[in-house]
Amino acid sequence: MKTVLVLGANGQLGKCFQDLSAGHEDLDWLFMHSTEVDITSGYDVQQLFNSKRIDYCINCAAYTNVEKAESEMEKAFRINAEAAKNLAEICKKSNTVLFHFSTDYVFNGAAQMPYLESDITGPLNVYGESKLKGEESIRENANCYFIFRTSWLYSQFGHNFFKTILEKAGRGEELNITTAQQGTPTNANHLASIVLKLIKERSTRFGTYHFSNKGETTWYGFAEEILKILGNLDKFKLNRDNSYKTIAERPAYSVLNTAKVESTFNYSISSWEDAVKELYDKHFAGINLHSASDIK
């Protein structure tokens, strides 16, 4: 039986893997969160690998606060770059296949067509810089790895845009959502499913891939689609905000071209609209929007 280690298991993506594992007991799943293993400590991670044979390591641990990263640069790089380097080295020594997740924010947003894996990078903020450095460290120090760049993750778990819109809509709050960014919402459960597919198939088509749902929209468009699913759009207070201010600069356009992952692994990716509807129908249909406890 192959052993699959999931680091950062209490985060949004880590919880998606926990949810997914329930139907796949043919794998020996090992879920670890930050209080159990400090991924920034090479010693801690090495001790974990010494204690058990790890066939696959899925690294969901990351510093993801784009705004705070601007003032916490050292912390962002320690988690997103230095820890990735240590993990790559340990996985190489242990002959472990490493799965790592990166971001559309490694690009500068100047493109007018979806980004290919081979396109020149140029992050605009500390978060993007730290994630790019993590990618580079893995490519330099690991042999057997999959790096998935993804975008605008949401799910039934944790804090994310999808759930925030549901909560605010349920309270009748006015929603001022930016139209300044063009990208693609990605159902984190779908990202977890492609990883599981590669593990099941014991794929060795290692490399860097783009994975998001299909299509593109703005954050305003994302919010609008969520509210449409809830019913009469006119009853919600949704406004376009063209002057949304942030500390960290963000790419205006960060749509990812997913042709490589689809053709390489014969994997059909859902449209972002269908993925949003799927998540709502599976986890949120029939809930009381006025009760925050039903959503969280």
Instruction: Give a yes or no: residue 37 inside a domain.
Output: yes
99-109 per-position pLDDT tens digit: 999 999 999 99
Instruction: Give a yes or no: residue 223 inside a domain.
Output: no
The token pair that represents 267 in the structure block: 């994997």
User: What angle separates helix 12-21 from helix 188-200, to the nearest 10 degrees?
Assistant: 50
Instruction: Give a yes or no: residue 42 inside a domain.
Output: yes
Please tell me the distance from the alpha carbon of residue 91 to that of residue 197, in angstroms, as a whole number. Answer: 20
Active site residues: 127
Instruction: Give a yes or no: residue 36 inside a domain.
Output: yes
Write out the residue range of the structural domain in which residue 147 sits. Answer: 3-159+185-215+255-271
Cα radius of gyration rounded to whole Å, the chain = 19
pLDDT at 63 over 60: yes
Please tell me the distance from the alpha carbon of residue 216 to that of residue 117, in angstroms, as a whole number. Answer: 17
19-38 per-position pLDDT tens digit: 999 988 899 999 999 888 88
Instruction: Give a yes or no: residue 220 inside a domain.
Output: no
Please tell me the distance from the alpha carbon of residue 113 to that of residue 102, in angstroms, as a whole number. Answer: 20
Domain count, the chain: 1
CATH number at residue 44: 3.40.50.720
pTM: 0.94
Report which of residues 37 and 145 the model is more confident about.
145
Instruction: Give a yes or no: residue 264 inside a domain.
Output: yes
CA of 28: how far to CAs of 22, 45, 95, 148, in Å?
Answer: 11, 18, 17, 23
Instruction: Give a yes or no: residue 246 inside a domain.
Output: no
- DSSP E strand boundaries for 33-89: 56-59
156-208 per-position pLDDT tens digit: 999 999 999 999 998 989 899 999 999 999 999 999 999 999 999 999 999 99
Instruction: Give a yes or no: residue 293 inside a domain.
Output: no
